[in-house]
Structure formats: C-alpha cells, structure tokens
Structure 1
C-alpha cells in the first residue's frame, strides 16, 4: 500500500504542472502560440467544435484526475470501512487499471504532431514542458495501479469489516 500511495501522490503532484504548463507550442509564420490542455479546449469551444472540446476535456483532464481519485478511494478502502460494495470496489479497480495506458494517447498525439508538422518558418509544432509532466503523471498512475494489491480489498471483506 505504501508504494501505491507514494506513486499516487507523485501522480497528483505531476497533475498540477501538467495542467499549468503548455503541452505544445504551435508556430505560425514564426509566431509561437503555446497552449495548455484547458486553453486548447477553450480554443475548440471558440471555434464551435464542442464535441472535440468535450472529448479532449474528458480524455485529458477528467480521466487522469479520475484515475488518481480512484486510486485514493481504493487505498482508503483497504484501511477503513466504506459504503462501497465489493462489486463496486472491483469495478473501480478494473476501471483504473484499464484506463491507465489510454491517457498516453495525448502524449502520442503531441509527439506525432511535433514529428509531422514541420514546415519550417510557415508552421511548426514543438512539444512543450507540460507534456513531460503529463507523461510522468500517466506513468505514475499506471505504476500505482500495478502496485495496488487488490486482494487487500477482499481480505478486509473476509474479515467481516465490509458490506456487500
């Protein structure tokens, strides 16, 4: 549990700069335009691309934050009684584990954009500092989910300290 807790805290710490610093810098005619995740979402909203903005908001902000919160809930449930049933705890654990690598899609998109969009002075895309923190956050949540011993949830249940 200590490893899981430490990796989850590290992921939460990385979540803050991942959302403060720009993810990528888009150069148009030599003029840089850096944007964070939330600024990118606002740009899509300004252009009326609401579905794209919603998908990015969910995939890049809600899902990573949800994984971190889910890990904290699982850690809490190994130590204390809760109102969650074993089925809910199991679903939460499998959801956190399943979503782990999917947040890496953001990192791959920025890497592909930086590699493909290079038209010199006209247009260029570079990865910015925020993508490093975002990638670290994703990796830390994946390690935290892997280090979590789900058997502890069942052990607590077998001791009669949990409800079904």
Structure 2
C-alpha cells in the first residue's frame, strides 16, 4: 500500500476522530485546558475534513473507469461500505459540533 493511501485512508480519519473526541471530552467534563489549544485542534479537524472524502472520490473514479472500459471486475466488499460510513459520520460530527462550546467555560470564569 502506498504511503499517501495509508495517510488518507487510516491516519486522516483516525486523527480526526481522536481530536474530536478529545475536544468533546474537555467540553463535556469541563477539564481545565487552554481554549486556544482546543480551537487549534478544531481548526485542524476542519482542515483534515476537506481531505477525508479523497479515498471515496478516487475509488468512485477508478470504479467508473474500470466499468467503462471493462478492463477488470470490481466487487465492493463490506469494508468499503463501512469506511464510507465512518468518513460520513465523522464529517457530520465535526459539522454538528458547536465550536463556541470551547469558550463557554472560559467566559463563565471571567
């Protein structure tokens, strides 16, 4: 497997889920963390989110080329469907999160 495929397929979704979980935990349990760090992590999630659909896009184009030219046969296995579901759910989770919650605890103590 090529390096950029591993990064786009494994590292990007994993990084996105871990950072989002960390931000959610700090907001939910009001852990004393610097709000600037959480804001930077949220911006990283937004930036990484742009690239999270890259694999699905590439697979769709390759599938269309293969089907169009009848070069080979392709079967979509359950892992591809599950990967697409994880990517879509992490996109919705990042979009649904209200970044103002990061600063609520800071504003309450001021």
Same fold flag (TM > 0.5): yes
Kindly indicate whether residue 64 of structure 2 is the aligned counterpart of residue 115 of structure 1: yes
- Retained in 2: the 8 A contact 1:67–1:99? yes
Inter-partner Cα distance in structure 2 for 1:57 and 1:130: 15
Q: Give the number of equivalent residue pairs.
A: 108
Structure with greater strand share of residues: 1
Q: Find runs of 4+ consecutive structure 1 residues off by over 4 angstroms.
A: none
In the TM superposition, residue 67 of structure 1 has moved relative to its aligned partner by 0.7
- Which residue pairs with 2:30 in the alignment? 80
Structure with greater helix share of residues: 2
Q: 1:60 aligns with which of 9, 12, 22?
A: 9
Q: Of the two, which has the highest radius of gyration?
A: 1
In the TM superposition, residue 128 of structure 1 has moved relative to its aligned partner by 2.7
Q: 2:52 aligns with which of 103, 106, 109?
A: 103
Inter-partner Cα distance in structure 1 for 2:12 and 2:18: 10
Residue ranges of structure 1 left out of the alignment (5+ in a row):
1-40, 42-52
- Which residue pairs with 1:70 in the alignment? 19
In the TM superposition, residue 94 of structure 1 has moved relative to its aligned partner by 1.2
State the superposition RMSD in angstroms.
2.0
Deviations 1:110-150 (Å, cap 9, x if unpaired)?
11111102454x63334332221111111111111111111
What TM-score results when the alignment is normalised by the length of structure 1? Answer: 0.59
Kindly indicate whether residue 74 of structure 2 is the aligned counterpart of residue 125 of structure 1: yes
Q: 2:38 aligns with which of 89, 102, 118?
A: 89
- Which residue pairs with 2:84 in the alignment? 135
- Which residue pairs with 1:31 in the alignment? none
Residue ranges of structure 2 left out of the alignment (5+ in a row):
none
